[in-house]
Amino acid sequence: MARGACSDTSTKRLRVVLNDEGRLDVIGVVWSNDDDLWDWRMLHDGDVSFRGEIRADGDSDRSFRIKRTMLDFPGTDIIAFKAENQRTGETCFVKVDDF
């Protein structure tokens, strides 16, 4: 698991777990202080695996969570999660490179 601050006031976390089927469960979370629209993407060994847009939940803690399943390639996998706030330009980037 990796966590930390984004380029402004938000924080982020990336969690990668090997599931019972031999695949990687990948969860990226951003805690924001707004309910803006964010572009996000998940990368696996440098290639984009998933991408989309999401709005931070304004009714609760103003966070969003993206969960995807990836193949577990032979050798070391490098998993990254990037999100960018469409209004402010704030960016969040986190990677796990020892999985």
The DSSP string of the chain is: -EEEE-SSS-EEEEEEEE-TTSEEEEEEEEE-SS--EEEEEEEETTEEEEEEEEE--TTTTSEEEEEEEEE--SS---EEEEEEETTT--EEEEEE---
A 10 A CB-CB count for 90 gives 20
pLDDT on residue 50: 98
Instruction: Report the predicted TM-score, pTM, of the whole model to 2 decimal places.
Output: 0.92
pLDDT on residue 99: 76
pLDDT on residue 58: 67
pLDDT on residue 34: 85
Per-residue pLDDT of the chain (99 residues; tens, 9 = 90+): 999 999 999 999 999 999 999 999 999 999 998 889 999 999 999 999 999 999 987 666 789 999 999 999 899 999 999 999 999 999 999 999 887
pLDDT on residue 7: 96
